[in-house]
Structure 1
Amino acid sequence: MTDDNKNLYLAIALSILFIVGWNFFYGLPKLHQPREAAQQAQVAANGAQPPGTTVNPIAPSGAATTPAGVATTAAVDRSRQDVLKDSPRVALETPSLAGSINLKGGRIDDVSLKDYRETVAPDSPIIDLLSPSGSPHPFYVETGFVGQPGATTPMPNANTVWTADKAKLTPAEPVTLTYDNGQGLVFRRTLAVDDKYMFTVADSVENKTAAPVTLFPYGLVSRHGKPVTSGYAVLHEGLIGVVGDSGVQEIKYDAIAKEANGTKLMDGTGGWIGFTDKYWAAAVVPDQSQPYKGRFSVTGQDEPKNYQTDILDDAKTVAPGAIGTVTSRVFAGAKEVNTINAYQSNLGIKKFDLLIDWGWFYFITKPLFSVIDYFFKLTGNFGIAILITTILLKGIFFPLANKSYMSMAKMKKVQPQMAAIKERFPDDRAKQQQATMELYKSEKINPVSGCLPMLIQIPIFFSLYKVIFITIEMRQAPFFGWIRDLSAPDPTSIFNLFGLIPFTPPHILAIGAWPIIMGFTMFLQMKMQPEPPDPVQKTMFNWMPVIFTYTLSAFPSGLVIYYSWNNLLTVLQQLLIAKRAGAKIELWDNLGGLFRKKPA
């Protein structure tokens, strides 16, 4: 291998190490803050001052903001269950969801995910996604109408108590809520829900007056207080939406306050808007054929601030004796890939798949998940699916790798000639390079091809990292033995002999069995190459497996298993190709050199 190639390998390795290390030291401390402490702090913040009013939906053009209604105020430190008892409710029961619809305000503000629990323990509580105003973590969805600027006609608001025609909302039985404002307008809200996470909301107004009435349909998702986030820069958590053809808009909680007046406005036709967590999301989806205005906003100077995403449709005029209806959808649930894809294709929701943060390598990440998911359905184990996918990737790139490794093998064989060139022209680098290029030409060697496998592996590595880290399908997915969650780090540690010693080491010493296996396979891969003559490079390459073992110990175990398996396959591949090329296998000499005594 030439010095230039070694420098390139070193640069690539250092780049990967920098990115991995930056995520480890910047993102991981946030991830491992005790969740309970963060939640208690947020509860305390909510208790310091009552939750604020709902941020108003976008005002109709040229008018002052029209209130959507005042949020209810709760007593300090009240539990979610206590707050739910404060208002009349319609029960929500589907194969995937449990909860209720609040008849006070007509909000969707109590949604729990029946298929997902907080931990891998089977008796762990299920995930609570949406919660009412006044609870420790208010998070809810609201739709309806706002009136014209200056209009005095009573409109439904957060304190309006609706009547329901049924006691329970199920996939088989929609529920219709009704409110009569007493001045000739009758509002109805029909809610339907499927067996997963999508609500269909039909808001209508019947005009019994003698004059036409003009209203503006709106929808919003409101969140009081900044939620606990994982803190990783490679994952977006916060306000998100696709409004028209603008592409996906992502703003983190701290960033929205930096916008002018804490507001970001958009407009277009088609799309959706809401909030995304790592695995869950809530969003409003307007009529995909009608133009609307979208907004991200935050209010409040101190914590807890109120964050909101909302939409406002164009004015809708309802003639006397007529009924005007607007249909929108509300997503509240888990970001399951196949479910999200089905909603996009079946309901025609523009770019709804971008609710999942596939990252820069979208064109690799999403197909890669599909392949892993296919093998999971065959084997029933995501860990095995990752191993099979790795073999498949190795097979696809084998011709390129074979050509690359053959070129590297030829370069090893001409090392004596290259050393002779340096001795012949010790002080003339131009002649060294000219003679080296002539040697490459005569031996049909392409020095750049030796770097291609590593360059190709970089986007695949990060794409697989994204798949394992962001997809809910990997959450709490077991492998074998002690790996019960492929999306979490290896829970063992060498510092308590992997559980044999009754001692729980601090997080900084949590170096598990799989990271050590990964480090060993990386060590073998490094030893497949000739020892660098430069002492600095040699020291760096010798320490690289150790550094990566420590750094990747905090990464998802599924990624570490992939990396270990990939390293082992690479070593076997290099051994095979080197043998076919008749090149010297450096591994044995490099391993033997570890035990030979150095001359005094």
Structure 2
Amino acid sequence: MNDSKNLILAIGLSALILFGWPYIQEALFPSPPAPPQVAQNTQGVQQPTAGGQTGAVTPGVDDGVPTGAADMAAPVLDSVTREQALEQAPRIAIETPRLTGSINLRGARVDDLTLKGYRQTIDEDSALIDLLEPSGSPKPYLVQFGWVPAEGLEVPNGDTLWTADGETLTPDTPVTLSWTNDAGVTFEQVFSIDRNYMVTVTQRLTNGTDTALAPQTFGRIFRSGVPKLENFYILHEGLIGVFDGVLEERDYDEMADKANGTERFTTTGGWMGITDKYWLVALVPDQANAVQATFRRTPRTAEGQYHVNFVNDPQSVAPGTSAETTGRFFAGAKETTLLDKYGEDLGITNFDLAVDFGWFYFLTKPIFYAIHWLHGILGNFGLAILALTVAIKLAFFPLANKSYKSMSKMKLLQPKIVEMRERLGDDKQKLQQEMMELYKKEKVNPLSGCLPILVQIPVFFALYKVLFVTIEMRHAPFYGWIEDLSAPDPLGLLTGFGLIDWQVPAWLILFNIGLWPIIMGFTMWFQQKLNPPPADPIQQRIFGLMPIFFTFILGGFPAGLVIYWAWNNSLSILQQYVIMRRMGVAIGGGRIEDSDKKSEESKPAETKADGKKDAAKKASGKKAEGKKAGGKKAAGKKAKGKKAEAEAPEPVTSEEVDTGDAVSGDSTGGDGKADETKSS
């Protein structure tokens, strides 16, 4: 008994530490305040100029990729606001059905992009998602294309002021930026954008000198600091790329451990960028070109600065001729269908891997597309999840049906197993031996009940991934109080399911479970009642605690996942109950008729006496009918002689009448033979 208590206590404490430690740690050991940022030394930073850059690699160059003074400088204590930073340089507007923003003509940076279709919260008045941030703001985040500095060639850098041939970049109106150096070499960048999130940049160099040139073009992403992270092991956030078909992922912390904070790759085609949970900024070089790619972290701020870039091979440009390269960048929401379309139309290798579908990719992605298709029919992702659950149940019905039949047989054997336990006592070895012999004799597999669970586990994790990482599930409503299937149930137990206006402290969050997790826990408990209990009493107690355990654990999971589990349990209960009724299995074990007999025995004494009187009356009535039939058939009986005597059953005794067990004439063949024998 003590061992069982200790085991249960150990499981409870382990669960509390595993899932509640982050809240306990924050309550007992709050995070120290961020160190103050060093004020910018404006005297030590070169002021922006309209000029270019010459040479191979300088302190302002990352692997030959030039950076601007605004990127190199540490942020000041009183950083300017986003709006103030946008006013510091001339800009070209960006306007599409899904994006709004601008291009900074100082350095030809795309450092201002806002997603029109996505907001910070489910509140209709909440702010839109700002994806890219301008130079000079607290945490700049930008994309830039350009030329690598070369000996004898002055190229534009991050501080060059470009001229534009238009005022607004739209899907119908490309914009060309141009700059000419003192030697007569003209650099042009033609920006075009589609109606979603892909920007195409064509870089053109016209050689106005009398010597051949060998320029190299580049694309880069720069991000200062680390965004607010989910910090969940099943989700990658940070630097990402596909190089020669292989996915490479590096967390922000991982880059700090790299030698010089740098990692290099060589690839033909592919893509590289920085990913958040729902958003992606990625460079897409010409898929036919071999490029050198780099991940880098520089410790110029407390949180670090992160660079992702690629460099094309040199091109030979004769005097009086031009050369151009084309690259792209994606900046937007990681919509799975859109990424797949880009991958197919533009030939971008494994572009869909930007969505972290995880180890069960082969299962997760089909589940996503199934839900997406059902959503197109039903108009609600919650209903789509319920419909998919029914489809999965139907697909695995033969397997589950076989399993539930086996469990029903186990329930029939439950009385015999109970008798074994009482007879053998603490002799567990003998008990296990006799139980195995019984299972073998009755052709029952005690492990068959695990099959539905084993089938459900990969589906569960795949659906969890879909709900957790796909942008389509973000802010997707269900019915009632569920306004976001990707977030936990908002109605908490400690707030009276929304009736009490109280901010639950962090250390109590684990106990503030919602209504749907409670419903799920109840269905799990009820389903357990349909299954045969384990033979070991300790295991019985552990299994009894599982519904409570999972209720608290799933309290912090996405509501869509909890709804799926509750619905799946409900379907399993219905299926198992129907099978048990067909096989005559009672809920508590044994056969239904045995259960009815027990309920008859448990009736009060008066009820039993009335039952006996009714049985006696019925038996007397049968006797009278038998006598009448005997008088009419006397002649027939004499003719039959010994044969009639041999076929006549034992006469009904008074003891049988008293116990109410007298059989009717129908049970003896319907010809009244038993009564005839008595009358004679």
TM-score (norm 2): 0.76
Structure 2 residue aligned with 1:6: none
1:403-552 aligned within 5 A: 403-416=402-415, 429=429, 433=433, 439-507=438-506, 508=509, 509-552=511-554
Mapped to 2, the partners of 1:290 and 1:554 lie a distance apart of 46
Mapped to 2, the partners of 1:110 and 1:516 lie a distance apart of 45
Q: What SS does the aligned partner of 1:499 have?
A: coil
Aligned AA (1:66): G
Aligned AA (1:238): G
Structure 2 residue aligned with 1:319: 318
Q: Tell me by how many angstroms 1:498 deviates.
A: 1.6
Aligned partners of 1:266 and 1:294 also within 8 Å: yes
Q: What is the aligned length?
A: 562
Residue of structure 1 aligned with 2:110, choices 104, 108, 111: 108
Structure 2 residue aligned with 1:138: 140
Structure 1 residue aligned with 2:577: 575
Q: Tell me by how many angstroms 1:495 deviates.
A: 2.1
Q: Tell me by how many angstroms 1:524 deviates.
A: 1.1
Structure 2 residue aligned with 1:94: 96
Q: What SS does the aligned partner of 2:531 have?
A: coil
Structure 1 residue aligned with 2:217: 217
Cα–Cα, structure 1 residues 573 and 428, in superposed 2: closer, same or farther, change >3 Å?
Answer: closer
Cα–Cα, structure 1 residues 429 and 516, in superposed 2: closer, same or farther, change >3 Å?
Answer: closer
Q: Tell me by how many angstroms 1:96 deviates.
A: 0.3
Which string of whole-angstrom CA distances, capped at 9 and with x for unpartnered residues, describes residues 16-69 of structure 1? Answer: x989985x447789999xxxx99x97896486789999xx9xx89xx9943513
Structure 2 residue aligned with 1:382: 381
Give the stretch that moved more between structures: 578-587 or 178-187: 578-587
Which string of whole-angstrom CA distances, capped at 9 and with x for unpartnered residues, describes residues 71-120 of structure 1? Answer: 41565321111001001110000000000011111111111000001111
Q: What SS does the aligned partner of 1:160 have?
A: coil
Q: What SS does the aligned partner of 1:449 have?
A: coil
Mapped to 2, the partners of 1:567 and 1:233 lie a distance apart of 27
Aligned partners of 2:407 and 2:531 also within 8 Å: no
Which string of whole-angstrom CA distances, capped at 9 and with x for unpartnered residues, describes residues 142-188 of structure 1? Answer: 1121033xx14211111001111100000011111001012121110
Q: What SS does the aligned partner of 1:523 have?
A: helix
Cα–Cα, structure 1 residues 419 and 316, in superposed 2: closer, same or farther, change >3 Å?
Answer: same
Structure 2 residue aligned with 1:286: 285
Mapped to 2, the partners of 1:361 and 1:52 lie a distance apart of 50
1:53-72 aligned within 5 A: 65-72=63-70
Q: What SS does the aligned partner of 2:394 have?
A: helix
Instruction: Say whether 1:396 aligns with 2:398.
Output: no
Structure 1 residue aligned with 2:567: 565
Cα–Cα, structure 1 residues 48 and 252, in superposed 2: closer, same or farther, change >3 Å?
Answer: farther
Q: Tell me by how many angstroms 1:284 deviates.
A: 0.2
Aligned AA (1:516): I
Aligned AA (1:88): P
Structure 1 residue aligned with 2:269: 270
Mapped to 1, the partners of 2:561 and 2:237 lie a distance apart of 21
Aligned partners of 2:82 and 2:133 also within 8 Å: yes
Aligned AA (1:310): N
Mapped to 2, the partners of 1:576 and 1:453 lie a distance apart of 16
Mapped to 2, the partners of 1:175 and 1:20 lie a distance apart of 58
Q: What SS does the aligned partner of 1:561 have?
A: helix
Q: Tell me by how many angstroms 1:478 deviates.
A: 0.9
Structure 2 residue aligned with 1:181: 181
Aligned partners of 2:414 and 2:532 also within 8 Å: no
Structure 1 residue aligned with 2:308: 309
Aligned AA (1:583): V
Cα–Cα, structure 1 residues 556 and 283, in superposed 2: closer, same or farther, change >3 Å?
Answer: same
Mapped to 2, the partners of 1:104 and 1:147 lie a distance apart of 18
Structure 2 residue aligned with 1:232: 232
* Structure with more relative contact order (C-alpha pairs < 8 Å, separation 6 or more): 1
Aligned AA (2:408): A
Aligned AA (1:69): T
Aligned partners of 1:365 and 1:463 also within 8 Å: yes
Which string of whole-angstrom CA distances, capped at 9 and with x for unpartnered residues, describes residues 523-561 of structure 1? Answer: 112222234453332322222222221221111111111
Aligned AA (1:374): W
Aligned AA (1:401): A
Instruction: Say whether 1:198 aligns with 2:198.
Output: yes
Aligned partners of 2:482 and 2:559 also within 8 Å: yes
> Which protein has the larger Cα radius of gyration, Structure 1 or Structure 2?
2
Q: Tell me by how many angstroms 1:426 deviates.
A: 8.3
Cα–Cα, structure 1 residues 236 and 193, in superposed 2: closer, same or farther, change >3 Å?
Answer: same
Mapped to 2, the partners of 1:337 and 1:65 lie a distance apart of 33
Q: Tell me by how many angstroms 1:292 deviates.
A: 1.1
Mapped to 2, the partners of 1:295 and 1:501 lie a distance apart of 53
Aligned AA (2:393): K
Q: What SS does the aligned partner of 1:213 have?
A: coil
> For structure 1, which runs of at least 5 residues remain unmatched after alignment?
1-9, 590-600
Cα–Cα, structure 1 residues 64 and 101, in superposed 2: closer, same or farther, change >3 Å?
Answer: closer
Q: What SS does the aligned partner of 2:449 have?
A: helix
Q: What SS does the aligned partner of 1:586 have?
A: coil
Q: Tell me by how many angstroms 1:372 deviates.
A: 0.7
Q: What SS does the aligned partner of 2:232 have?
A: coil
Aligned partners of 1:383 and 1:479 also within 8 Å: yes
Aligned partners of 1:27 and 1:231 also within 8 Å: no
Q: Tell me by how many angstroms 1:448 deviates.
A: 3.3
Cα–Cα, structure 1 residues 27 and 358, in superposed 2: closer, same or farther, change >3 Å?
Answer: farther
Mapped to 1, the partners of 2:41 and 2:438 lie a distance apart of 77
Aligned partners of 1:293 and 1:311 also within 8 Å: yes
State the identity %. 45
Instruction: Say whether 1:258 aligns with 2:233.
Output: no
Instruction: Say whether 1:350 aligns with 2:352.
Output: no
Q: Tell me by how many angstroms 1:266 deviates.
A: 1.3
Which string of whole-angstrom CA distances, capped at 9 and with x for unpartnered residues, describes residues 392-444 of structure 1? Answer: 111111110001111122223234555677768986948954x6555444433
Structure 2 residue aligned with 1:593: none
Give the stretch that moved more between structures: 301-310 or 389-398: 301-310
